[in-house]
Amino acid sequence: MIFYNSFNRDCRDAVGAIVAGQTLTLRIQVTDLPVQNVAIEIFPDGEQATNTQRVRMQPQADNWYVGKVTPPSAGLYFYRFIVDTDPGQQAIYYASKYKVYGGTGEATRDSNTSCYQLTVLSKEETLPDWYRHAIFYHIFVDRFNNGNADGHVNNPKPNSFIYGTHNDLPYYVKDANGQIVRWDFYGGNLLGIEQKLPYLQELGVTALFLSPIFAARSNHRYDTADYEKIDSMLGSLADFDHFLTAVHAAGMHVILDGVFNHVGADSKYFDLYHSFEPREGATDSPSSPYYDWFTFTQYPNKYGAWWGWAICRR
């Protein structure tokens, strides 16, 4: 039997992120197996084939093994355990369960496994007191509240549909390939959140965490089209300033969800559909100022995308 739980202090002396150069101690228990050697295999994100390190673990009492790793730089790391048993036998790999990056794992002799995740920071920030003690309320902005007195939706997007009532259930229109072809909107906006501040105060809320509010094609807005513009369905920059003033006057704080890991295909940075002027997107020209933001395997039709969800050119 093999036991390791990344959320257990007996197994990992620091739960959560660590700082670059900090030593992390890992402990794993292996019983009822003829152990020859136990090691930690660790590598930076995307570098398993070229930059994998193995750290031999030392035996302790009660069949525990201990090892220490010291990531040298900030970034995302992955690790797993390798248990060598009888000579001639394939090693046992102990790693996190499929699509789960923490907790207890599973043992297999198949080297194709998932891995535990380790976040390494360049430095540790001192969190402000308001954040440490805040009661947060997360708001999916489009679904929260429309502040317009007559209920009209600000600047509806082309090729989308608006729900007739708030009681209508969400519904995605997809094509044969599973791609969403009509985004759906309820029309929530910044004014609607501002009008609900007294209600949120009654709940004891002291901080708001908003889903992305920058210009985008979808209702969730994780496919950013322009980081410098508030989505017009939500309001203007002046509306946002007014909203912030009201939030602060209520003694509350706001955190925005900044999506800086990826952008939308229909964005000024990628411009898959050539809908932005001036045409400076990565698919418009290899000389685009944003070209090196992306990884093309066959320009401009094949490229690296978020979790492989590339939108193919038709």
Whether 100 has a pLDDT exceeding 90, the answer reads no
Per-residue pLDDT reduced to its tens digit, 113-149: 999 999 999 999 899 999 999 999 999 999 999 999 9
Query: How much of the chain, in percent, has pLDDT values that exceed 90?
Result: 84
Q: What is the DSSP string of 45-79?
A: TT-TTTS-EEEEPEE-GGGEEEEEE---SSEEEEE
Name the band, by pLDDT with cuts 50, 70 and 90, for residue 311.
low
Whole-number average pLDDT of the chain? 94
Summarize pLDDT for 23-53 with one digit per residue, the tens.
Answer: 999 999 999 999 999 999 999 998 998 999 9
Strands (E) in 250-293, as ranges, are 253-256
Is the pTM here over 0.85, yes or no? Answer: no
DSSP track, 246-279: HHHHTT-EEEE----S---SSSTTT-TT--SSS-
Instruction: Please provide the size of the chain in residues.
Output: 314
Mean pLDDT across 93-117: 93
- Is residue 234 within 8 A of residue 154, CB to CB? The reply is yes
What is the side-by-side order of every strand in the sheet holding 136-139? 136-139, 207-210, 253-256
